[in-house]
Amino acid sequence: MTDIPGLFLVPYLKVILVLVVAFLVIGIIKRFIRRFLSTTTLPLDAQNILRRAVIYVLWFAVLMYVTHELELEEIFMPLIGASVLVGAAIALAVKDALGDAVAGIFLLLDKHFNIGNEIETMKYRGEIIDVTLRKTRLKTSDGTIVVLANGKIDSSGWVLHENKTEAKEE
Protein backbone atom coordinates (compact mmCIF):
# COMPACT_ATOMS: atom_id res chain seq x y z
CA MET A 1 0.00 0.00 0.00
CA THR A 2 2.87 2.40 0.67
CA ASP A 3 4.23 1.94 -2.88
CA ILE A 4 1.07 3.26 -4.53
CA PRO A 5 1.67 6.96 -3.64
CA GLY A 6 5.25 6.58 -4.86
CA LEU A 7 4.09 5.08 -8.15
CA PHE A 8 1.60 7.89 -8.52
CA LEU A 9 4.39 10.51 -8.32
CA VAL A 10 6.78 8.85 -10.80
CA PRO A 11 5.24 10.31 -13.99
CA TYR A 12 5.18 13.79 -12.45
CA LEU A 13 8.81 13.54 -11.37
CA LYS A 14 9.76 12.36 -14.88
CA VAL A 15 7.88 15.28 -16.40
CA ILE A 16 9.59 17.79 -14.10
CA LEU A 17 12.99 16.31 -14.97
CA VAL A 18 12.21 16.37 -18.70
CA LEU A 19 11.05 20.00 -18.50
CA VAL A 20 14.22 21.10 -16.69
CA VAL A 21 16.44 19.23 -19.15
CA ALA A 22 14.42 20.52 -22.11
CA PHE A 23 14.72 24.10 -20.87
CA LEU A 24 18.51 23.76 -20.63
CA VAL A 25 18.97 21.88 -23.91
CA ILE A 26 16.65 24.14 -25.91
CA GLY A 27 18.49 27.17 -24.50
CA ILE A 28 21.81 25.73 -25.73
CA ILE A 29 20.31 24.86 -29.13
CA LYS A 30 18.89 28.40 -29.39
CA ARG A 31 22.35 29.92 -28.80
CA PHE A 32 23.94 27.50 -31.28
CA ILE A 33 21.37 28.34 -33.96
CA ARG A 34 21.85 32.08 -33.35
CA ARG A 35 25.64 31.72 -33.76
CA PHE A 36 25.29 29.54 -36.84
CA LEU A 37 22.77 31.81 -38.54
CA SER A 38 24.85 34.91 -37.82
CA THR A 39 27.56 33.47 -40.09
CA THR A 40 25.12 33.17 -43.01
CA THR A 41 24.01 35.87 -45.42
CA LEU A 42 20.37 35.49 -44.43
CA PRO A 43 18.66 38.74 -43.45
CA LEU A 44 17.94 39.21 -39.74
CA ASP A 45 14.20 38.74 -40.30
CA ALA A 46 14.74 35.35 -41.94
CA GLN A 47 17.21 34.30 -39.22
CA ASN A 48 14.67 35.18 -36.55
CA ILE A 49 11.90 33.22 -38.30
CA LEU A 50 14.08 30.11 -38.72
CA ARG A 51 15.31 30.24 -35.13
CA ARG A 52 11.79 30.59 -33.76
CA ALA A 53 10.46 27.79 -35.96
CA VAL A 54 13.09 25.36 -34.65
CA ILE A 55 12.45 26.36 -31.04
CA TYR A 56 8.67 26.03 -31.45
CA VAL A 57 9.04 22.55 -32.95
CA LEU A 58 11.27 21.47 -30.06
CA TRP A 59 8.86 22.79 -27.44
CA PHE A 60 5.97 21.13 -29.27
CA ALA A 61 7.84 17.79 -29.04
CA VAL A 62 8.32 18.35 -25.29
CA LEU A 63 4.61 19.17 -24.92
CA MET A 64 3.70 15.96 -26.75
CA TYR A 65 5.95 13.94 -24.43
CA VAL A 66 4.44 15.55 -21.32
CA THR A 67 0.93 14.95 -22.63
CA HIS A 68 1.71 11.29 -23.26
CA GLU A 69 3.54 10.76 -19.96
CA LEU A 70 0.71 12.27 -17.89
CA GLU A 71 -1.88 10.43 -20.01
CA LEU A 72 -3.64 13.63 -20.98
CA GLU A 73 -4.14 12.73 -24.64
CA GLU A 74 -7.91 12.68 -24.29
CA ILE A 75 -7.87 16.28 -23.09
CA PHE A 76 -5.11 17.80 -25.21
CA MET A 77 -5.53 16.09 -28.57
CA PRO A 78 -8.88 17.79 -29.31
CA LEU A 79 -7.33 21.11 -28.20
CA ILE A 80 -4.34 20.57 -30.46
CA GLY A 81 -6.65 19.68 -33.33
CA ALA A 82 -8.64 22.85 -32.73
CA SER A 83 -5.44 24.90 -32.55
CA VAL A 84 -4.39 23.47 -35.92
CA LEU A 85 -7.69 24.65 -37.38
CA VAL A 86 -7.25 28.09 -35.81
CA GLY A 87 -3.69 28.19 -37.17
CA ALA A 88 -4.91 27.30 -40.65
CA ALA A 89 -7.56 30.04 -40.45
CA ILE A 90 -4.94 32.58 -39.39
CA ALA A 91 -2.61 31.42 -42.17
CA LEU A 92 -5.37 31.93 -44.71
CA ALA A 93 -6.10 35.37 -43.28
CA VAL A 94 -2.46 36.47 -43.59
CA LYS A 95 -1.55 34.49 -46.70
CA ASP A 96 -0.60 37.62 -48.64
CA ALA A 97 1.74 38.75 -45.87
CA LEU A 98 3.23 35.27 -45.68
CA GLY A 99 3.60 35.19 -49.48
CA ASP A 100 5.36 38.57 -49.38
CA ALA A 101 7.68 37.32 -46.64
CA VAL A 102 8.59 34.17 -48.58
CA ALA A 103 9.11 36.21 -51.76
CA GLY A 104 11.23 38.64 -49.75
CA ILE A 105 13.42 35.79 -48.52
CA PHE A 106 13.95 34.64 -52.10
CA LEU A 107 14.62 38.16 -53.36
CA LEU A 108 17.14 38.77 -50.58
CA LEU A 109 18.84 35.38 -50.99
CA ASP A 110 18.95 35.32 -54.80
CA LYS A 111 20.54 38.77 -54.91
CA HIS A 112 19.14 39.58 -58.37
CA PHE A 113 19.31 43.24 -57.45
CA ASN A 114 20.83 45.30 -54.66
CA ILE A 115 20.22 48.61 -52.97
CA GLY A 116 21.18 51.34 -55.40
CA ASN A 117 20.24 49.34 -58.52
CA GLU A 118 17.61 50.73 -60.85
CA ILE A 119 14.74 48.40 -61.69
CA GLU A 120 11.45 48.59 -63.51
CA THR A 121 8.53 46.57 -62.19
CA MET A 122 4.75 46.90 -62.14
CA LYS A 123 4.79 50.19 -64.15
CA TYR A 124 7.31 51.76 -61.75
CA ARG A 125 10.95 52.54 -62.50
CA GLY A 126 13.30 53.67 -59.81
CA GLU A 127 16.31 53.13 -57.61
CA ILE A 128 16.02 50.53 -54.88
CA ILE A 129 16.47 52.25 -51.53
CA ASP A 130 15.36 49.44 -49.19
CA VAL A 131 14.48 45.75 -49.32
CA THR A 132 12.90 44.17 -46.25
CA LEU A 133 11.27 40.82 -45.73
CA ARG A 134 7.85 42.00 -46.98
CA LYS A 135 8.39 45.23 -48.92
CA THR A 136 10.75 46.85 -51.43
CA ARG A 137 11.04 50.62 -51.65
CA LEU A 138 11.87 52.38 -54.92
CA LYS A 139 12.72 56.04 -55.42
CA THR A 140 11.48 57.21 -58.80
CA SER A 141 13.18 59.89 -60.91
CA ASP A 142 10.80 62.57 -59.57
CA GLY A 143 11.71 61.67 -55.96
CA THR A 144 8.55 59.73 -55.17
CA ILE A 145 9.08 56.73 -52.92
CA VAL A 146 7.03 53.73 -54.00
CA VAL A 147 6.51 50.81 -51.60
CA LEU A 148 5.87 47.50 -53.36
CA ALA A 149 5.02 44.09 -51.91
CA ASN A 150 7.77 41.55 -52.59
CA GLY A 151 5.21 38.94 -53.64
CA LYS A 152 3.94 41.25 -56.39
CA ILE A 153 7.49 42.02 -57.59
CA ASP A 154 8.39 38.34 -57.65
CA SER A 155 5.25 37.33 -59.54
CA SER A 156 5.24 40.20 -62.04
CA GLY A 157 8.96 40.17 -62.74
CA TRP A 158 11.33 43.10 -63.10
CA VAL A 159 13.86 44.62 -65.43
CA LEU A 160 17.25 45.50 -63.99
CA HIS A 161 18.62 48.65 -65.64
CA GLU A 162 22.29 49.50 -65.82
CA ASN A 163 23.25 52.08 -63.20
CA LYS A 164 24.22 55.48 -64.56
CA THR A 165 27.40 55.57 -62.47
CA GLU A 166 28.46 52.12 -63.67
CA ALA A 167 27.84 53.11 -67.29
CA LYS A 168 30.00 56.24 -66.89
CA GLU A 169 32.89 54.24 -65.36
CA GLU A 170 33.06 51.85 -68.31
Please say if the pLDDT value at position 118 is more than 70.
yes
Predicted local distance difference test score (pLDDT) of residue 84 = 86
Please say if the pLDDT value at position 37 is more than 50.
yes
* pLDDT digit string, tens, across residues 49-78: 888 889 999 999 998 898 888 888 888 778
Averaged over 131-156, what is the pLDDT?
88
* pLDDT digit string, tens, across residues 82-92: 888 898 888 88
Q: Which of 126, 99, 106, 123 is nearest to 115 (CA)?
A: 126
Averaged over 25-44, what is the pLDDT?
88
* Side-chain-side CA neighbours of residue 40 (13 Å): 16
User: Would you place residue 106 in the very low, low, confident or very high pLDDT band (cuts 50, 70, 90)?
Assistant: confident
Averaged over 100-116, what is the pLDDT?
79
Q: Which residues pair with 83 in a beta bridge?
A: none
Which of the two residues, 16 and 164, has the higher pLDDT score? 16
Predicted local distance difference test score (pLDDT) of residue 5 = 60
Predicted local distance difference test score (pLDDT) of residue 134 = 83
Which of the two residues, 16 and 98, has the higher pLDDT score? 16
In angstroms, the CA 118 to CA 106 distance is 19
User: 112-169: which CATH architecture?
Assistant: Roll (2.30)
Long-range contacts at 93-101 (CB < 8 A, ≥ 24 apart): 96/149, 96/151, 97/134, 99/151, 100/133, 100/134, 100/135, 100/149, 100/150, 100/151, 100/152, 101/45, 101/49, 101/133, 101/134, 101/150
Please report the sign of the dihedral spanned by the C-alpha atoms of residue 107, residue 113, residue 118, residue 123: negative
Averaged over 34-58, what is the pLDDT?
85
